[in-house]
Amino acid sequence: MLCIIAYPDKSFQASLQGLKVWWTIIFPALLPFLILSEMLKAYGWVHGIGILLDSFMRTLFRLPGIGGWAWSVGWTAGYPAGAEAVVRLRRDNELSRLEAERLLDLTHAASPIFMIAVVGVGFLQQAELGLVIAVVHWVSSLSMMVIVRWAGAFHPAAERLPIRRTAPDAPKPLWKRMLQAMELAHRQDGRAFGRLLGDSVTSSVQTLMMIGGYIMMFSVIVQVLRLAVPQEFGTYVLNGLFEVNLGAYSLGSAAFHSPLFQTALIGAVIAWSGISTHLQVHSLTRGTDLRYSRFFLMRLLHAGSAFLLTFVLWHPLHSLLRLAPLEQAAFRLLNAKNRLEEAPSSWIQSIAGLASAPAWLQSLTLVPILCILLLIGMAVSLFIGRWKRI
């Protein structure tokens, strides 16, 4: 408080910067996904997807199939959209506490647009490095969940979760059980389209207003702490500890002798996601029985595993993507007319243009990714279900 009074101009600028980030990036990127999630859940699509993904989710993560939708939303829209989806499922008693906590750990991930376009292109000036960070981010999250899943097998008392079925036990075709689950869920909701749309918009805007308040608050806190600690320490540690966007930017714009070490640090910061995002998740889970202590420990585990896996996967991914030496720019950044100059003919470079695109356009590009993830999960789930019946 004293620092805010002593430096009102810097505090105001920091708050204004946080507001700009929220209004130009967070709000338009997350609003469509939050509204869509609420409406699809009311119309029963989430329950239908749960029937299709049940075999896959239970075999790999010991989670019900209905969590597949929250997983897809979390991995495409980025945090804290996954937490919002998990909380809604828990409040509707679709998940037990342990299942919801596991699903929260799985769905808490950064958006691929943020990792590839913003960090890779905007901060590191190489889109391939953003893809490396994204692959390590996802692999470390999956490996962490698989380890936790198999570790739970040695504690059967804690794993005795009731298997809830959204369709009768009669041997019906999968598509009939899916349609029956969708019809039942929509009938139980009972809201007309107009009321549902209004409720979805209101709930989503309230959630985003809360997120915006946290972003502005932590922008001021980081700026105030910078005045009280040495600049070198504050630039890297404070930014990475409190806010993921500021942390990734400060590390990406710094001069490191080892690009591998720099990439590993950025991957750890993105996996940690910052105390600002932690408090956003904590505020979303308020009113439920989900434990923040478990979420905090899993974020530490995710950050550590992402840091170590970067060293393990660096050379294989380096060879796979055929990265050029980091001393030579693989392509030039956007010029004054927002066009790529002398970019090599590689499919990954097409992602670079998203760095300058409006946030609403970036969010629309995630819809095909969401559909692909759901289709892959459905195909694997169908294969597992048929294999179990053989």
The CA-to-CA distance between both ends of the chain, in Å, stands at: 67
pLDDT interval class at 160 (50, 70, 90): very low
pLDDT interval class at 305 (50, 70, 90): very high
Range from 74-78, 177-181, 249-253, 280-284 that averages highest in pLDDT: 280-284
Burial of 339 (0-12, 13-18, 19+ CB in 10 A): exposed
Residue 337: its H or E element = none
Nearest to 315 by CA among 134, 138, 116, 132: 132
Q: Per-residue pLDDT tens for 219-256?
A: 888 777 777 666 655 567 777 888 888 788 888 888 88
Residue 167: pLDDT over 50: no
Residue 105: its H or E element = helix 97-107
- Could you tell me which residues come within 8 angstroms of residue 266 by beta carbon, excluding any fewer than 6 positions away? 119, 123, 124, 133, 248, 251, 252
Average pLDDT over residues 160-164: 50
Q: Decide if 229 contacts 43 (C-beta within 8 A).
A: no
Taking the C-alpha atoms of residue 165 and residue 241, their distance in angstroms, rounded to an integer, is: 42
CA dihedral 316, 320, 322, 327 (to 10 degrees): -30
Please tell me the predicted confidence (pLDDT) of residue 343.
44
Q: Per-residue pLDDT tens for 67-104?
A: 888 888 888 888 888 898 899 889 988 889 999 999 99
Secondary structure string (H, E, C) spanning 23-64: HHHHHHHHHHHHHHHHHHHHCCHHHHHHHHHHHHHHHHHCCC
Residue 164: pLDDT over 70: no
Please tell me the predicted confidence (pLDDT) of residue 334.
37
Taking the C-alpha atoms of residue 317 and residue 136, their distance in angstroms, rounded to an integer, is: 10
Angle between helices 259-272 and 292-321 (to 10 degrees): 150
pTM above 0.95, yes or no: no
| Residue 3 CB coordination number (10 Å) | 17
